[in-house]
Amino acid sequence: MQNIEANINNEMQLLNFEKLRIRYKKISRLTNLDRRRLFDNIFVELDRPGYVIVEQNENSIEFRHNIWRFGSNMNAVSYLDGGRFEIDLQNKMISFSFYYSLAFDIFVNLFALAFIIVVDYQSFFLNIFCLIMGLIRFMRVRQNAVKMIEKITNSK
């Protein structure tokens, strides 16, 4: 029985995409808001399709974005793949660490590569397009994270 569980755990580790994450530098902002208001603002920002709160305690909220979900993913380019908000009320500071996952981009580019092999070499432009979209998404992640933390610390 333990061997079966060990095999299942080993197989699940092969599907673990955490190693394909690019972690960005942590963003910190000073704030005069209390903990409840900060948490409310964070929940408002995370109230979008695909965002899932993974862990929450009295000083932090960790979330991820499920890009593989069913439904419209038209705005998925503007979403962060995941992150963690840490609130330090003694120093009146909120910190936001976030990451970009390469799993989706690798999957799309492998699909485009398979399309090139199966259909025609002229489909190479599809692969170039997918690479460019991945680069755009990579550059937008930090920009969107800064916008997110500015909205959260805004006292309006």
- 19-58 per-position pLDDT tens digit: 666 666 788 888 888 888 989 998 988 888 778 888 999 8
For residue 10, pLDDT beyond 50: no
Query: Span 121-141, mean pLDDT?
Result: 80
DSSP H helical ranges for 2-123: 2-14, 35-45, 103-118
For CA atoms 99, 100, 104, 109, give the dihedral sign.
negative
Spatial separation of the C-alpha atoms in residues 26 and 24, rounded to whole Å: 6
Length of the chain: 156
* Every domain of the chain and the residues it spans: 19-153
**5: confidence class by pLDDT, cuts 50, 70, 90:** very low
**14: confidence class by pLDDT, cuts 50, 70, 90:** very low
Spatial separation of the C-alpha atoms in residues 119 and 99, rounded to whole Å: 35
**73: confidence class by pLDDT, cuts 50, 70, 90:** low
